[in-house]
Structure 1
Amino acid sequence: MRSFVISWCLLRAVATAGNPHVDFAFGVLAERRGDDARAAELYESARVADPTAGPLVRRGVSRLLDEGNRSAAVAMFRDYAAARGDDPSVQLEYADFLVNQGRGDALAEKLAIETLDRVLASHPGSPPVVQRLASLVPDRAAELAAGLADDDPAAAMLFASLSRGLHDGDDVEARAEVDRRFLKAVDAHPRDAALARRASEHFRTTKRTDEAIHVLRTHADAAPWSLDLRARLGVLLFTAGRDDEGRGELEKLLVIAPEHKLAHQALAKHFRKAGDDEMAMRHSAELLRIRGGDPDEFVKLADEFLAAEQPAKARILLEKAAFDHPDDFSILRALAIATRRDPATRSRAPRLFREAESLLAEGETPDPAFLSESAECLIEAGQSKAAEERLRSAIRAMPADAKQETATALRRLAGLWESGNRNAAAAKALRQRADALDPP
């Protein structure tokens, strides 16, 4: 056993010597064991053996910065960048490092600018380089922007950003150049979603909706899978008053993506504006089902379904709401009412009324509608006395302007007395009062 251990140690020593991969692996193992000092030694050994390995250099730089040795960290990164002079991504990383670590340091900023200029010389018009240089040397922004390619997505988007800082918003000539670059880039790269979004927003925010629609249409035709921008196209068509096109675009989208939230939201708003309450409620319900919502949103839409005599749709909507908001009285109250009005689920209503009422604070009284609806459950269960008390409470709590609701409760209470051959005179008086409030 002893000889095996000695042999293993010798093999490890031989394998580790000058092998950055093995050093790195043992460094990870040491770090996992909590031996940070040994891990640092192994990582540094690996870096020395392979000084152009980015992950090893970054670990070394990070360690030096943690130790407060900023000058050594800068030197290590400088040597790494010099060894990888033909890699623009490394040069950009080095420039960013100089800027971040040398805030307020003129020399560090100068080195960063020189590094970026060297990259720009070998990669003219490179958007990442231009963006960094324009930030470091604002006086060169116009010259740098002019050097950007006019058919590249990243270049077109960067040109638009730089132009906003260089020109007034009402500079027609500057805006025309942004227009030209955006349109040329979209024609060259119609599938680029980021470009299409930025270009369409540029035209929309400058009050040229038709141009914004053209950009999104070009993109949607080239990339029909770009669902969010197809939905955005539908919204812009509505904005432009092209309702039939907008509705058609969104309805086609929902065929392949039936749970697209923006499409349902836009269609609900469109149908509401057009006076088609049925379709507006349908899309509003789908939207709430997909993304959820506040209790007030659910209750408001459920009340619309109940007013339209569609209790089943109200109930289904509120069952989703109760799952999301199990302790909200307004949700359970509305669910109990909808469940009672839906013939298919009426038998479940009494339990829901009890659950809802249990959420009320001590001493708090249910509202008149709740009392009236729960009274109906009691009547159906043969508990006429308890129902009578609920109807009395509901009538007393009715607001003065709820004449029709008050009359309905009065007639229901009168009917209870009449069916039990009780209080005939009082029942007659209740009916007279009801007729005065809501003439038959």
Structure 2
Amino acid sequence: MRFLLPLLIPLPALAEVDPRLEFAKGLLDQSRGKQEEAVARFEAARQADPTAVPLVRHAANRFMAEGNLAKAVSLYRELATATPDNLSNQLAYADFLRSEGRGDGLAEKMAGETLEMALKRFPANPAILERLFRSAENRGDHERSRQLFDKLVANPPLDPASMLMAETWSNLLFAANDASARERLDKLFQASADAAPRHSGLARAASDHFRKTDRMDVAIAILQKHAGAAPADLELRTRLGILQFAALRDQAGEKTLKDVLAIDPQRAIAHDALAKFYRQHNQPEPGREHAAQVLRIRGGDPSSFTSLADEWLAADQPKPARILLEKAAYDHPADPTVAAKLAIATRRDPETRAHASILFRQAESLLPNGTSPDPAFLSESADCLIEEKRIPAAEDRLRKAIRAFPPDAKKETAATLRKLAGLWESQNKNADAARALRQRADSLDPAK
């Protein structure tokens, strides 16, 4: 009976085998711990379809796990030999030789020969050229590298992947000041970008090439053509607007970026470019609006929020300052400076003035022990205390604010002096002191 045991292991060599089904059964056997049966099924599946790359790869990995590199190599070699017109299989064989035979001169030689033979069947194929170029560079064979470069760029326009590869190779092979190499790359980029204007990566690379070589007009023209061919590419349309600003085409740049924001108001880079543009051209209001959008979208550190809010407060526009600082308080809930500025803006905004008192108290609670509020905070919070009829506390805050203002804050000091004088006058007390305060205020800020 012993001679019958092998028949119990299902080796379907005598019948027609469905390689997919057999491989699936092998996986099932493997999951059940039946390793011998699984291996037999895997091998039967591979023999039924010896050119199926997944089956070859699976078998090769199994042999590699067993330490049998020679058998794994033979599987890939048989695959490549059986399918000479299948480029993927030739590349798989060469790549396996290089990855598993790294440092082995014979394996490198066999991989190179495989690729050279494939190149004869598939002339100027970028996948083959890229592998041969990498090998030549590793060997220091720059003459061969140049030959491969010439093959790659022999028939422009190039497809986008080949053009991007050609740029990389050119930068490796030729000096930055090589005029003939640059001219050649210029023509390749122009022809290839014209042939594939919708390709984002190629348009960006071509534009960057001309921008970096101080030919901004060409860089802009390439992006303009791309924008016409692929208007949904808002990233490069934004880049176009920025380049137009850099080339002093202000109206065009402004229109380009506004058009982008009309489609996608969340594009922070466009807001940032417009904010800088308006500030440079003495248009603070739109500059602040776009700067605020950048902070709303990207966020920022507390000082970024408070400095912009200060601009609005100085322009007597507390509402946008308050809205911005509400975002800042959400992002930085424990920051005392943000909380203080929010309380001040809330107090100055007529729509929210009634809610300011609690914000002042919350802001003070965030201050480190032993730290006093800044004078602007003291002066503004005094107004809330006055409304709450807490006159002595308000007077104390106003006095502290007057003492705390720096010498150059003359306008702020004068305003606080007048505020304290007005408080005393409304209380019918300290008339002489109130007059003295007003005189001092007038000396600091005669405009009042």
TM class by smaller structure = 0.7 to 0.9
Superimposed CA distance per residue, residues 121-164 of structure 1 (whole angstroms, 9 cap, x where no aligned partner)? 22221222222211111331211111123212222222221111
Q: Alpha-carbon deviations, 1:321-350, whole Å to 9, x = none?
A: 222222222222222111111111111212
The aligned counterpart of 2:107 is 108
Q: Is 2:164 the counterpart of 1:137?
A: no
In the other structure, the counterpart of 1:414 is 421
Structure 1 gaps, min length 5: 1-9
Residues 1:213 and 1:38: Cα distance change in structure 2 (over 3 Å): farther
Deviates more, 1:242-251 or 1:80-89: 80-89
Q: Give the equivalent residue in structure 2 for 1:198.
A: 205
Q: CA deviation at 1:93?
A: 3.6
SS in 1 for 2:428: coil
Q: Distance in 2 between matches of 1:216 and 1:58?
A: 44
Match of 1:118 in 2: 117
Aligned-partner Cα distance in 1 for 2:207–2:286: 29
Q: 2:314 aligns with which of 307, 325, 345?
A: 307
SS of structure 2 residue aligned to 1:147: helix
Question: Do the aligned partners of 1:406 and 1:434 also contact (CA within 8 Å) in 2?
Answer: yes
Structure 2 CA distance for partners of 1:186 and 1:433, relative to 1, 3 Å: same
Provide the aligned C-alpha RMSD in A.
Answer: 2.8
| Paired residues of 1:236 and 1:246 also in contact (CA < 8 A) | yes
Q: CA deviation at 1:230?
A: 1.0
CA pair 352-85 structure 1, distance change in 2 beyond 3 A? farther
TM-score normalized by the length of structure 1: 0.88
Q: Which amino acid aligns with 1:142?
A: R
CA deviation profile, 1:288-326 (whole Å, cap 9, x unmatched):
222222222111111111112221111111222222222
What is the CA-CA distance between 1:79 and the residue it aligns to?
4.2
**Alpha-carbon distance in structure 2 between the residues aligned to 1:72 and 1:262:** 56
- For 1:269, the aligned partner's letter is K
Show the 5 A alignment for 1:217-236: 217-236=224-243
* 1:13 to partner: Cα distance: 11
CA distance in 2, matches of 1:360, 1:323: 17
Which digits, 9 at most, give the CA deviation of each residue in 1:257-283, with x for residues without a partner? 222222211111111111111111111
Separation in 2 of the partners of 1:404 and 1:60?
84
Q: Does 1:242 align with 2:238?
A: no
Distance 1:13 1:169, change over 3 A: closer
Partner of 2:182: 175
How many Å separate the matches in 2 of 1:47 and 1:204?
57
Q: How big is the shift at 1:58?
A: 4.2
Change (3 A) 1:321 1:93: farther
Cα deviation for residue 78 of structure 1 reads 4.0
Show the counterpart of 2:408. 401
Distance of aligned partners of 1:125 and 1:409 in 2 relative to their CA distance in 1, 3 Å threshold: same
Per-residue deviation, 1:101: 2.9
**Amino acid of the structure 2 residue aligned with 1:110:** K
Give ranges in structure 2 of 5+ residues lacking alignment. Answer: 1-7
Normalised by the length of structure 2, the TM-score is 0.86
Change in Cα spacing, 1:428 to 1:63, as seen in structure 2 (3 Å) is farther
CA contact (8 A) 1:92 1:129 kept: yes
Pair 438,133 (structure 1): closer, same or farther in 2 beyond 3 Å: same
Q: Which residue of 2 aligns with 1:147?
A: 151
Partner of residue 273, structure 1: 280
Q: Is the contact made by 2:26 and 2:41 (CA closer than 8 Å) also made in structure 1?
A: no
**Cα 1:59–1:420 shift into 2, 3 Å:** farther
> How many residues end up aligned between the 2 structures?
425
Aligned to 2:42: 46
Could you say which residue in structure 1 is the equivalent of 2:3? none
Larger deviation: 74-83 or 107-116?
Answer: 74-83
Question: Paired residue for 1:189, among 185, 196, 202?
Answer: 196
Letter in 1 for 2:223: L
Larger mean Cα displacement after TM superposition, 80-89 or 267-276? 80-89
Q: 1:49 is aligned with what amino acid?
A: A
Residues 85 and 39 of structure 1: CA distance in aligned 2, closer, same or farther (over 3 Å): farther
Question: How far did 1:52 drift?
Answer: 3.9
Q: Which residue of the partner structure matches residue 4 of structure 1?
A: none
Aligned to 2:4: none
SS in 1 for 2:123: coil
**Residue in 2 aligned with 1:334?**
341
SS at match of 1:361: coil
**1:60, distance to aligned residue in structure 2 (A):** 4.8
**Which residue matches 1:364?**
371
Could you tell me which residue of structure 1 aligns to residue 271 of structure 2? 264
Higher mean displacement: 271-280 or 40-49: 40-49
Distance 1:133 1:336 in 2: 67
The amino acid of 1:107's aligned partner reads L
Equivalent runs, 1:2-151 vs 2, <5 Å: 20-22=19-21, 25=24, 42=38, 45-46=41-42, 48-50=44-46, 51-62=50-61, 65=64, 70-138=69-137, 139=142, 140-148=144-152, 149-151=155-157
Quote the Cα distance in structure 2 between the aligned partners of 1:363 and 1:30: 74
Q: Does 1:378 align with 2:374?
A: no
1:214 to 195, 208, 221: 221
Match of 1:119, SS state, is helix
Contact 1:26 1:39 in 2 (8 A): no
Distance across 1 between alignment mates of 2:424 and 2:150: 90
Match of 1:157 in 2: 164
**Percent identity, aligned pairs only?**
51
Contact 2:346 2:356 in 1 (8 A): yes
In structure 2, the CA distance between the partners of 1:28 and 1:227, relative to structure 1 (3 Å rule), is farther
Query: Is the partner of 1:312 in helix, strand or coil?
Result: helix
User: Do the aligned partners of 2:344 and 2:380 also contact (CA within 8 Å) in 1?
Assistant: yes
